[in-house]
């Protein structure tokens, strides 16, 4: 932008989105785990606008309530009388001297770079419009140009004649222009058209009538200007977006078994030589070191995963810190608040919650470890359960270094097992255990000779 001009952004998000057939306002539907409106807002962020005004209406306060964290000025459009009417609602908050960029809340994949180009073009000419050529322009407003290629007006699909409908250059709806011009033209809009609405697009003909030449800019890729009107279109954009994210990760050194079977709903930062098998879902913010391998069908949310970690098939890992060279799975569940030090092994059907596990400790089969502090070199046998919940409160289990816990042990918290303790299989530990002892509470072996198993009594007729 030329120095001295400030930018204001308006995002239109009041429309109903009838074709979504949803109780949720359209702009709250999610793409890659974030609402459509948040995607648009993020694209506008690098422009450092004075204010981002979001025009909302259909669905009422749900939209500003759900997205209250966005830095924006929320403008209510009580009745949805058209795009021109929607823009007008935001104008009282915008100085005449600003350039105004108009975006759509349901066009989520618009790229920041395209917006920068559009704003630059508008700061030179006063008015720039984003247009695109589509193989199937059905439904969009068409760009009508004169013989010299200058824009004359926009014709909506419903108002166009057959010749106009054959034009493949469409109005994306996104434009950037001087605030004083916009204000002047908005006040002259009428509803004299096929839909009885105030069309924002009518300002184009008004500009042309004043001898203003409108600059046009085109997007880097057509998906940038594709709107979401149906769930099918949403799914299409989702797949496109996911593939693009996978490509970016591949460029950074990640191997995918199949980039089409990967979903990132958030941010993933990786070292080199990360290998990701099929159907892995990453959510929130995940940091992975180098040489990490993720097996098929894993869900990983908000985690830090160290170098050389191996995660086998079908694991769910959430809000955890996994140290270097740990091995997890298959079928492990790591819940929030878990911290695994280095070279920890967690095996199948093991659940760990809010616990720290020291270096080289192992829980390889069928265990629950909750609210625990586990030292180094501890072996937790199959079927070990920390009984952390007494029905009302949660209690802590402390297992010191070098403890060996036999299979099928219950540790009734609060309890501390001292360093080097060995617990025989099948024990129920209800009190603290001093270090370096063997403890078991099995019953003595009883042998009953000549024991006959009961036999089923035949029911005779009475
Ligand atoms: C609009 C354009 C059309 C363009 C197309 C691109 C007009 C008259 N037509 O048509 O030229 O090709 O977008 O997708 O502008 N909205 C409000 N309040 C309203 C009406 C709409 O906030 O009263 C919002 C909608 O939520 C949506 C956007 O404005 O985000 C576009 O509205 P929509 O009804 O989808 O316009 P189209 O008919 O598709
Ligand atoms: Ca639309």
Let me know if residue 452 belongs to a domain: no
- 290 neighbors 307 (Cβ within 8 angstroms): yes
Residues 318, 406, single domain; the answer is yes
| 64, 173, 197, 199: residue to mutate for ligand 1 pocket, most atoms within 8 A of CB | 173
Examine the pLDDT at 139 and tell me if it is beyond 50: yes
- The pLDDT, as a whole number, for residue 458 is 87
* 219 found inside a domain: yes
- Reference 81, options 189, 229, 174; nearest CA is 189
Last residue of one domain, picked from the residues 207, 225, 243: 225
How far apart CA 408 and CA 237 sit, in angstroms, is 50
Structure confidence by residue, pLDDT tens digits, 310-324: 999 999 999 999 999
Contact 229, 249 (CB under 8 A): no
CA-CA distance, 308 to 179, in Å (whole number)? 55
pLDDT at 265: 98
Mean pLDDT value across residues 293-311: 98
Domain count, the chain: 2
Q: Is residue 456 part of a domain?
A: no
Q: Which of 209, 225, 241 is the C-terminal boundary of a domain?
A: 225
**Is residue 171 lining ligand 1, measured as CB closer than 6 Å?**
yes
Residue 237 lies in a domain: no
- CA 258 – ligand 2 centroid, Å: 33
CA distance 107 to 31: 11
Identify whether 424 is part of a domain: yes
Q: How far is the CA of 5 from the centre of ligand 1 (A)?
A: 27
Last residue of a domain, one of 225, 242, 260: 225
- Report the chain's C-alpha Rg in angstroms: 32
On whether both 220 and 256 belong to a single domain, the answer is no
Say whether both 66 and 165 belong to one domain. Answer: yes
CB distance 140 to ligand 1 below 6 Å: yes
Domain that holds residue 322: 251-439
454 is a domain residue:
no
Query: Cα–Cα distance between 215 and 121 in angstroms, integer?
Result: 7
**In this structure, what is the dihedral angle of CA atoms 49, 52, 53, 56, given to the nearest 10 degrees?**
150
438 contacts 429 by C-beta, under 8 angstroms: no
Predicted confidence band of residue 2 (pLDDT cuts 50, 70, 90): very low
Do residues 37 and 138 both lie within one domain?
yes
Ligand 1 pocket check for 82: Cβ under 6 Å: yes
User: 71-93, pLDDT tens digit by residue?
Assistant: 999 999 999 999 999 999 999 99
Given this model, what pLDDT does residue 334 score? 98
Confidence of residue 1 (pLDDT cuts 50, 70, 90): very low
144: CATH: 3.90.550.10
Residue 330 lies in a domain: yes
Task: Check 29, 53, 345, 365 and give the catalytic one.
Answer: 365
* CA of residue 164 to ligand 1 center, whole Å: 19
- Say whether both 221 and 255 belong to one domain: no
In terms of domains, do 47 and 162 share one?
Answer: yes
CB–CB of 200/102 below 8 Å?
A: yes
> Do residues 180 and 294 share a domain?
no
pLDDT at res. 17: 86
Indicate whether 220 and 347 sit together in one domain. Answer: no
In sequence order, the 6+-apart residues with CB closer than 8 A to the CB of 315 are 295, 298, 299, 300, 328, 329, 330, 331, 332, 333, 334
Mutate to test the pocket of ligand 1, among 29, 83, 140, 165 (most ligand atoms within 8 A of CB): 83
Question: Using an 8 Å Cβ cutoff, are 369 and 357 in contact?
Answer: yes
Q: Does 124 fall in a domain?
A: yes
The CA distance from 37 to 53, in Å, is 12
User: Which tens digit of pLDDT belongs to each residue from 213-241?
Assistant: 999 999 999 999 999 999 999 999 999 99
Say how far apart CA 129 and CA 6 lie, in whole Å.
Answer: 18
Averaged pLDDT, 252-263: 98
228 Cβ below 6 A of ligand 1? no
Bridge partners of residue 332, in order along the sequence: 350
Over the chain, what is the mean pLDDT?
A: 96
* Shared domain check, 278 and 199: no
Claim to verify: residue 270 and residue 221 sit in the same structural domain? no
Closest CA to 119 of 49, 57, 68, 32: 49
Same domain, yes or no: 210 and 261: no
Pocket test for ligand 1, best of 15, 59, 182 (most atoms within 8 A of CB): 15
Q: What does the pLDDT read at residue 462?
A: 58
| 104 Cα–ligand 1 center, Å | 8
The domain that holds 293 is classified in CATH as: 2.160.10.10
Q: What is the pLDDT of residue 4?
A: 61
Q: What is the pLDDT of residues 332-389, one digit of tens each?
A: 999 999 999 999 999 999 999 999 999 999 999 999 999 999 999 999 999 999 999 9
Contacts of 454 (CB under 8 A, 6+ apart): none
Whether the predicted pLDDT of 423 surpasses 70: yes
Q: Are residues 265 and 414 in the same domain?
A: yes
What is the spatial distance between Cα 186 and Cα 91, in angstroms, rounded to a whole number? 9
Report which ligand 1 atom has the smallest distance to the Cα of 104.
30
Beta carbon of 226 within 6 Å of any ligand 1 atom: no
What is the 93 CA–ligand 2 centroid distance (Å)? Answer: 25
* Residue 365 is a catalytic residue: yes
């Amino acid at each position: 932008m030329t120095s001295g001009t400030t930018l204001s952004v308006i995002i239109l998000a009041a429309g109903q989105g009838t074709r979504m057939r949803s109780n949720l306002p359209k702009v709250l539907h999610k793409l890659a785990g974030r609402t459509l409106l948040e995607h648009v807002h993020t694209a506008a962020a690098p422009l450092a606008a004075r204010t981002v005004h979001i025009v909302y209406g259909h669905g009422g306060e749900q939209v500003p309530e759900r997205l209250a964290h966005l830095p924006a000025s929320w403008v209510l459009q009580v009745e949805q009388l058209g795009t021109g009417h929607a823009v007008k609602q935001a104008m009282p908050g915008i100085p005449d001297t600003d350039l105004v960029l108009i975006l759509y809340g349901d066009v989520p994949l618009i790229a920041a770079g395209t917006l920068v180009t559009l704003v630059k073009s508008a700061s030179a000419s006063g008015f720039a419009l984003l247009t695109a050529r589509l193989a199937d322009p059905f439904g969009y407003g068409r760009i009508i140009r004169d013989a010299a290629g200058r824009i004359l007006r926009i014709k909506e699909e419903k108002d166009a004649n057959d010749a106009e409908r054959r034009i493949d250059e469409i109005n994306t709806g996104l434009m950037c222009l001087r605030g004083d011009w916009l204000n002047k033209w908005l006040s002259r809009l009428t509803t004299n058209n096929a839909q009885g609405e105030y069309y924002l697009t009518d300002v184009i003909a008004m500009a042309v009538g004043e001898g203003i030449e409108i600059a046009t800019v085109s997007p880097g890729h057509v998906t940038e200007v594709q709107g979401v009107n149906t769930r099918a279109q949403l799914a299409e954009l989702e797949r496109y977006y996911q593939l693009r994210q996978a490509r970016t990760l591949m460029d950074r050194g990640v191997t995918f078994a199949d980039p089409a079977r990967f979903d990132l709903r958030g941010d993933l930062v990786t070292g080199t030589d990360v290998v990701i098998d099929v159907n892995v879902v990453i959510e929130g913010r995940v940091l992975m070191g180098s040489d990490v391998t993720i097996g098929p069908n894993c869900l990983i949310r908000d985690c830090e995963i160290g170098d050389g970690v191996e995660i086998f098939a079908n694991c769910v890992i959430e809000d955890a810190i996994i140290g270097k060279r740990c091995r997890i799975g298959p079928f492990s569940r790591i819940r929030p608040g878990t911290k695994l030090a280095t070279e920890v092994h967690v095996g199948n059907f093991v659940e760990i919650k809010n616990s720290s596990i020291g270096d080289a400790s192992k829980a390889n089969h069928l265990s629950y470890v909750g609210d625990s502090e586990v030292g180094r070199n501890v072996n937790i046998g199959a079927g070990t359960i920390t009984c952390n919940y007494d029905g009302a409160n949660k209690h802590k289990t402390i297992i010191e270094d070098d403890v060996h816990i036999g299979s099928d042990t219950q540790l009734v918290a609060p309890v501390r097992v001292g360093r080097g303790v060995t617990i025989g299989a099948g024990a129920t530990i209800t009190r603290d255990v001093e270090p370096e002892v063997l403890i078991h509470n099995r019953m003595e072996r009883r042998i009953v000779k000549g024991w006959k198993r009961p036999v089923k009594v035949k029911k005779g007729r009475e």
